[in-house]
């Protein structure tokens, strides 16, 4: 009796092999059945957990041909064991290993001074490079109206501004009100200086000192804490204790996230 092959499927009807891709943290894929798209944050027991851009998590089985990577069908597999990669940036966003910086947008974020810019860079730098957002500093808000007029914000060039000590009725508040428009957003935090936006617990102190009116605030802080009265060195000491968004007060976190969202909105792409 003639023996027949058990598989009679013609070769041209057999599914083509697809690439096997390690489910490394930060890899962005789509599960085609649900349309859910997100970054890998965990891989265990034959499943992968994805997080979308809104922070929502979904768990999917790692089945053959189960995902799309840049529009192509792939099979996710467990990554090889080795040193763990960071899955989060300092701002708490999903880290994207190997991501290239985007070409800078026309839109900008302005902050008051160099210390503000350095703090934003340390915590949000990875996110800003991926989004193509450049941060510049003003050295005060008195010239903000002329700067905004010169920048000429528009749908393709949105402007976001972060102001220190923005409280109703203050000089800063009045200036902010005068320049805010559909394509220019001025927000602020209540702290006298961005130093205060760093949690005291991160510095090993109980609270930020109260400095009497009429004294230079930063010098007064150094004096009250027993630090050398060198504000540049003091700032480097403070900045070195900031490792992530967890070291910052929520009043600052919310405002910076608001500005990034504003500048990267579809109107500012």
Average pLDDT over residues 170-183: 87
Q: Above 70 in pLDDT, residue 86? A: no
| Residue 92, pLDDT score | 58
pLDDT in tens, 54-71: 778 889 999 999 999 878
Using pLDDT thresholds of 50, 70 and 90, give the confidence band for residue 1.
Answer: very low
| Residue 79, pLDDT score | 85
| Residue 87, pLDDT score | 59
Average pLDDT over residues 149-159: 90
| Residue 90, pLDDT score | 67
pLDDT in tens, 42-58: 888 789 998 877 778 88
Using pLDDT thresholds of 50, 70 and 90, give the confidence band for residue 161.
Answer: very high
2-6, 103-107, 134-138, 220-224: which has the minimum mean pLDDT?
Answer: 2-6
Among candidates 226, 166, 175, 153, which has minimal Cα distance to 194?
166
Using pLDDT thresholds of 50, 70 and 90, give the confidence band for residue 198.
Answer: very high
Long-range CB contacts for residues 59-65, cutoff 8 Å, separation at least 24: 60/31, 60/36, 62/23, 64/18, 65/15, 65/18
| Residue 185, pLDDT score | 93
Q: How far apart are CA 105 and CA 153, in angstroms?
A: 12
Using pLDDT thresholds of 50, 70 and 90, give the confidence band for residue 85.
Answer: low
How high is the mean pLDDT of the chain? 83
| Residue 137, pLDDT score | 84
Domain positions in the chain are: 17-77, 108-264
pLDDT in tens, 229-269: 999 999 999 999 998 888 999 999 999 999 999 998 854 44
CATH number given to 17-77 = 2.30.30
Q: Are 61 and 78 in contact (CB under 8 A)?
A: no
Among candidates 209, 191, 205, which has minimal Cα distance to 249?
191
Beta carbons within 8 Å of 138's beta carbon, 6+ residues apart: 110, 111, 112, 113, 144, 147, 161
């Amino acid at each position: 009796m003639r023996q027949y092959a058990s598989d009679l499927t013609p070769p041209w009807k057999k599914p083509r092999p697809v690439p096997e891709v390690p489910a490394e943290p930060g890899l962005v894929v789509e599960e085609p059945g649900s349309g859910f798209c997100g970054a890998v944050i965990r891989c265990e027991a034959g499943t992968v957990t994805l997080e979308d851009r809104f922070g929502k998590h979904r768990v999917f089985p790692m089945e053959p041909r189960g995902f799309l990577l840049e529009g192509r069908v792939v099979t996710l597999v467990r990554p090889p064991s080795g040193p763990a990669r960071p899955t989060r940036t300092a701002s708490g966003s999903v880290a994207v290993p190997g991501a290239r910086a985007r070409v800078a947008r026309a839109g900008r974020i302005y902050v008051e001074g160099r210390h503000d810019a350095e703090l934003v860079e340390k915590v949000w730098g990875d996110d800003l490079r991926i989004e193509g957002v450049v941060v510049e500093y003003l050295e005060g808000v008195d010239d903000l109206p002329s700067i905004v007029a010169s920048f000429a914000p528009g749908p393709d060039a949105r402007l976001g501004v972060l102001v220190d000590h923005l409280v109703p009725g203050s000089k800063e508040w009045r200036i902010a009100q005068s320049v805010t428009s559909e394509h220019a957003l001025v927000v602020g935090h209540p702290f006298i200086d961005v130093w205060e936006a760093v949690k005291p617990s991160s510095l090993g102190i109980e609270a930020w000192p109260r400095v009497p009116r009429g004294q230079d605030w930063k010098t007064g802080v150094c004096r009250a804490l027993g630090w050398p009265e060198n504000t540049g060195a003091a700032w480097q000491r403070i900045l070195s204790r900031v490792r992530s968004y967890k070291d910052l007060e929520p009043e600052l976190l919310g405002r910076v996230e608001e500005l990034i969202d504003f500048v990267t909105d579809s109107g500012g792409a």
